A = this chain, B = another copy of it.
Amino acid sequence: MNDSKDTDVSENKPDIEELAEKAINYISERKYSELKLFLVDMNPADIAELMEELPERNLPIVFRILPKELASEVFVHIEGDTREVLIASFSDKELKEVFDELYLDDTVDIIEEMPASVVKRILKHAAPDMREEINKLLNYPKDSAGSIMTPEYVDLKKDLTVEESFRRIRRTALDKETIYTCYVRDDNRKLIGLVTVKELLVADYHDKISDIMETNVISVRTTDDREEVANMFSKYDFLAMPVVDNENRLVGIVTFDDIMDVMQDEVTEDIEKMAAISPTDKPYTRMNPLELWKKRIPWLLLLMISATFTGMIITSFEEALAKFVILTSFIPMLMDTGGNSGSQASVTVIRSLSLNDIEFSDLPKVVWKEIRVALLCGSTLATANFLKLLTIDRMILGHSEITVQVAFVVCITLVATVVCAKVIGCSLPIIAQKIGFDPAVMASPFITTLVDAVSLVIYFRIATILLHI
């Protein structure tokens, strides 16, 4: 597809590794002015990616070559480890310069990732008013709207004209990350309206802000969960979301670029929890085996202990199994099918919960739906299995111990297991959320362990009754 390899402006994706090699060549040949020309033409996100490919000792050179503003943009996109290397190489003056150029929400994001000693150094060299702002933002609870907002937004007075507003926007635009939504506050700093640059552009120059502003403003509170904020972004298609304190005073905005990161982080967290991993902010490639072990072992231990109970169920039916040894061979199939059926239901429900598609009051509806799905799935599986047992296994492979009764036991168990699995799978996440637990934890591993035990009990009960053991 990417057949046009000319260096046309719109060559789709830059090949970062190729570009990094080029940069390394420039450095080794000390062609610094060529390197600069080569770099300033790139997107900051790409320069950051390129720098990840360079040897550590080259990082400070490359960074110092960049014009100040671009350097700061690159600094935002770079990964934590590389960022630490850079900060260590900065003089105090350089440190101040880089951070002065940053938007406040980016500064806070970066500081939250840094070790305490680096944070101290950054705060020491920040201007006093900036330090105060940073500290304020750092104090909001992790994962709250306050912790991801920026206090840098465009505010307008309601009695300004459109022309005056443009003048104000133009004057302050460079310091703001997002200027396309402007907020109107009253004298008590309460949020009373908003107006977009698009609306300003189509309005008459002499219109008053109070006449064209939208007064039905949707906002979040500083303490709201960032996942909730992300859901509101995708519902309302906002470029920025105003954040108010408990007295409805506007204290900042959350911008859409941060929300895209939040969306990805939250999803990764959910997926990790669903796979019985304690969630983390660090990407996989940056975790060492010990860190990964710490995230995974608690759940493995817990689930292993739970699974021993399943073993105890088998032990208690030892005698029955000794009489019909063939019953043992169906255990994996029954357990796996139960686990898979349960996790299909639980994962579907967990995802619907996090998209606000269902809520607690839907529980009866969901359970009833899953019972019907389970009966459909269970009877399909049972029929397929029954035919397979009596034709392939009994007739072709000659397993004479698989009688019609045994096949019945296995197939009835299948249906019952699938129904139990789906009911457990769909209801546990909803109940978990209701009582304040994270529904994502109620996914495959947990459900599987539970369903294993349930399916074995069902299996042995049905077997003892139908086979008169």
Contact = CB atoms under 8 A, between A and B. Distances in A.
Interface of A: 1-4, 8-10, 12-14, 41-43, 45, 166, 169-170, 173-174, 179-180, 190-193, 197-198, 201-202, 215-221, 223-224, 232-237, 239, 242, 244, 246, 248, 256-257, 259-261, 263-264, 267-268, 270-272, 274-277, 283-285, 288-290, 292-293, 296-297, 299-301, 303-305, 307-308, 310-312, 314-315, 318, 321-322, 325-326, 328-333, 335-337, 339-341, 343-344, 346-349, 351-352, 355, 357-358, 362, 369, 372-373, 376-377, 380-381, 384-385, 388, 418, 443-445, 448-449, 452, 456
Given A271-B271, A275-B344, A276-B344, 18 more contacts: A9-B217, A41-B216, A234-B260, A263-B264, A274-B274, A275-B443, A285-B362, A292-B373, A299-B340, A300-B377, A300-B380, A303-B340, A305-B388, A307-B333, A318-B329, A322-B322, A336-B445, A339-B448
Contact of A234 (B215, B218, B261): B261
Overall SS of chain A's interface: helix
A187 B115 CA distance: 53
A326 B315 contact: yes
B336 A448 contact: yes
A333 B311 contact: yes
Given A264-B234, A314-B328, A355-B283, A337 B198 contact: no
Contacts of A381: 297, 300-301, 304
B321 A304 contact: no
